[in-house]
Structure 1
Amino acid sequence: MRIEALDMVNPEHTLRNLRAEISELDKFLENVQGKIDYLRISSMLDVPIRVVERDEERLATLKSELAHSGGKPVLHDLAPLLEKKVGLRFAYDERFREFKALKEKPLPQAGDRCPSCNHAHTEADAMAELSARRSRLLELHQECEALKEQRYQLAAEVEWCNSENAVATAVYEAERGNAIEAKQAEIDALSLIVAERTQKLRMAADLEQQHEVYGESVTERDEKKVDVQAVKNFMLQYAEMQVDYVNTFLNLARIQLFKYVGATGELTLDFTILYGEERTEYKSLSTSEKIRCSIEMAGLLNRLQNRSYPVYIDNAESIEDFDAPATQYFVASVVPKAALFSEIVA
């Protein structure tokens, strides 16, 4: 039984503590209910949960695309052209050096001897050497001019490629900048929406927790109310035992702690003094019955407190006889047209 877990040495103190705890729980429940009402309204989503999940996936995709948006435009590869340009320059320089060296080399004259074989050049040899040298110089000149022309064409091609690359890069940067700006704007707008919905989902989770707290607190309060009723029942039973004990010292008078409400038949607390075999309430007694009842109650108080207080009986003319109190008592009565006097009976 719950009564065994309660401090019943001082039940009134226990009852006050329980009522104070119930009052605190009622205030706490009121605050929790207010929070529940606020969270219920604030946590309501304006879209189905599938839309929330779709927007979160879209936001993650946009962020990933923005993070990997560092690609490059498709440009002309200049490396082969530049390599070819270097090759043409090398070929031109090689032929130009040969042309210059051949042009600066002295022509043999008739009678000159060859340094390597000591052969004496004839007039015909000199003419043949001159003709061969002219042919080679002309050939080298033509090759140099051809190489120069190729270099000019190659330079023009490189310049065209550079121009194309510059245009492509500018277009790419402009498009990329616009795309990034548009994507960032979408990310910002969607991030705000997702953040608001995330906050609402957190509130929804908090709402569930508050419902649990509310339910636990209601259970605790109801248990304490049961404890209060248990203490009250204990106090009533104890009072009944005391009243039953007290009533053993009474004759026709009785003390009653309960009464039934006539309309509902409900048993309610009530301290009532009854008298007579009919158990009439004190307020409905005649004057003589009230005097007799009061004499019994006065005797009861003296006996329970082990005292001998004197009893004063007024309006004695309204009663013919009564059981004399067990202690000293005074009787006052009205005798029509009689002078005021006092008399010691015993």
Structure 2
Amino acid sequence: MYQAYKMKLVLTQVTGFKLYETEHSFSFGMGNHITGDRGQGKTALSEAIIWCLKGCDLTGNVKGVKKRLANPNTKEMKVITTWEFHTPEGLLVKHSFCRISTSRSMRLFLDDEKVSQDDFDEWFGETDTLLSIFLPGYIGGIGAARTNNVVLSMLPAQDVAQVMNSLPAETQARLNIDGLRDPLQYLQSLKSELSEWNDYIHDTEKEIAQLLLKNALRGSSAVIEDDERKMTDLRQQIENLEQEAGPAFPEHINVWELESKELRKRYDAEVASWVTLNNTPINGEERECINRKFELDQIANRCNAILNEGFALRKDIDANRALYEEEKAEFIARTEQELQQLQFDLQMLEAKIELKQKNGQSIKDTPLHQKHLTDAKIQRDNLLLEVDSIQEFMFRYAEMQVIASNRALTHTEILFIPRRGKEGDYTFHYRLRYEEKEYYLLSSADKNRVSFELADLVAMTLGMMIPVFIDNGESIEEVIGERTQFFVTSYLPQAELSHEIIVA
């Protein structure tokens, strides 16, 4: 990607899009005036540009967009936007972004090379951010959560060291500079650790409260010895069960398999003799022909008898093998069930014995548990201070972002509204104002001016110069002189669509 302030849409080619059935080309400068009667394609041109870059309509919606935007008389919807960039070395280059949609596929190309939507997004950012500048008024209709995300994406990054220096000394001392490279992830890590300490403290307090009771429930040495004998018996039962072989494979099946192979050999030999006899020439005498036929029939009868015997034998083999597999499966299932029960009983008994052994030391262990509890509370309190510090850093960072943004803006202002929940967590909210008026109260002309100012801010923070498309603008003169590329449409009754470059 290249320098944002030297980025300009210079050409758009539209085919099969809404009323643009055949290819229409539009060349653009920094300032562009598009005129025509209603239904001539002024708004459709802005939709074509957005669809090419994002695959959505002017509301940011991608669902059902093909059906709504495609020309009904064409099989393919295609839009190409060509953009002019200046490289850091001062060279002028052009890149073409193409989106082609058919009934079966959607394809994207960057300079004739097939790419993905992520590749397009690297050049033009998030959809809501792009539309909030390209279409004045869009940001007023997307809801508070998405507005927050759009404004947040525009805010400039701040130097971590400068933010740190603006905090009180005691706060700085508690912060880890490496963790501040990703403060949100760092905060989540601290909260996860804090939750673990709280769980540990709760468990320790509960354990201390029950230590004396556990000691009383320990039982006599005779009871413990009886449990140990039961444990030894359970282990022996598990060992015996694990060594149990299960049902043996029936030997008669192996014998039958050998018999089956012998039947096969006999059958193959009879078939070979039948083929040999059948191919042996005869002198043509009637008696010899009758004898030959009789011999062949005899061989065929023997073959059939062997086959019948083989089929019957195979049926017995399969039935006996299935019966064996069923017995084997039942044995495995029963053994596994018994093992699971024995192992469960053993684990419960081991836990019971271990608990009784621990309970024997309960009185002696009480001071140690109390010390662990005290240490844990100290760790927890230190973490709470660190969590408060990182939240204070994030608050100051966001505040400085807004201050820096508002310095770059002229009449537009970003309002920073921090809120703190019951547990002390901050949530940051943002709103836009223009000349001290809330965005939803602004006129269309004022919303246009907000878009131009936000375009300059995004050029500074994101490295993108997003053009502004003013639909049915009242005046062209009021936007001439802006640094941002702009498009203004005007309604002219009974006039065909036309466009002119008013600022090169």
TM-score, normalised by the number of residues in structure 2? 0.32
Is the radius of gyration larger for structure 1 or structure 2?
A: 1
Pick the structure with more helix per residue: 1
